[in-house]
Amino acid sequence: TQLLEQSPQFLSIQEGENLTVYCNSSSVFSSLQWYRQEPGEGPVLLVTVVTGGEVKKLKRLTFQFGDARKDSSLHITAAQPGDTGLYLCAGVPRGSGGGADGLTFGKGTHLIIQP
Amino acid sequence: DVKVTQSSRYLVKRTGEKVFLECVQDMDHENMFWYRQDPGLGLRLIYFSYDVKMKEKGDIPEGYSVSREKKERFSLILESASTNQTSMYLCASSLSGRAGDEQFFGPGTRLTVL
């Protein structure tokens, strides 16, 4: 059973469109992180959300943590080809050993923005 | 600029060979991790270490071992490589064990076992 379910698995849209990707779980998380991975590279952290209901913005990217701290979403406005990549959500389940035990990752959303 | 480096970007080995994957971080981080990444399976934790000479099993430790003799270096060892260990291997480090700490990843080693 996958602890963090990401949807959609694949998404291909035109430049300028808006999109939302989701990260869902039946478990409560102490925090959730979103990473972006480009081909041939390791994941790079975009944001960490900690408080239920929290909304964080990073230029055209808006991240939201669910009130119950079981889910998160990433919304991209006016997508650009440079947004292309694999978007991974990751977190530490509440009650686990903390971040020292390593993160639990979703399988990711492959996003392609076509010019 | 903070950095996690991995010894090889690409590696090809034969079944039964002993394989060493090296990872070095220059950020004085306490925690280091080894993941493997496979299509359709995502990133899975193999082993992690929260201190020199300390190691803990992750979700899929079978067929692997690790070594952390120095704080900055974390090695992953495949004692006898098998074809099902063909994968992308990612090393990461984080400052402490607090939930929400950023993990910094290396560029990965793509290992092919023939």
pLDDT, tens only, A34-86 = 999 998 899 999 999 989 999 999 999 999 999 999 999 999 999 999 999 99
- Residue in B103, B104, B109, B110 to test binding to A, most A beta-carbons within 10 Å: B103
Classified as helix, coil or strand, A45 is: strand
| A100 — pLDDT class (breaks 50, 70, 90) | low
Task: Return the closest-CA partner of residue A22 out of A66, A58, A54.
Answer: A66
Classified as helix, coil or strand, A81 is: helix
The length of chain B in residues reads: 114
C-alpha A13, offset from chain centre:
18
The length of chain A in residues reads: 115
**pLDDT of B47 strictly over 90:** yes
CA gap A11, B96 in Å, rounded: 35
Whether the CB of B48 is below 8 Å from some CB of chain A: the reply is yes
Closest-CA distance of chain B to residue A33, Å? 7
Nearest CA in chain B to A36: B105
* pLDDT score recorded for residue B101: 81
Which region, left, alpha or beta, applies to residue A30 given φ > 0 means left and ψ of -120 to 50 means alpha? alpha
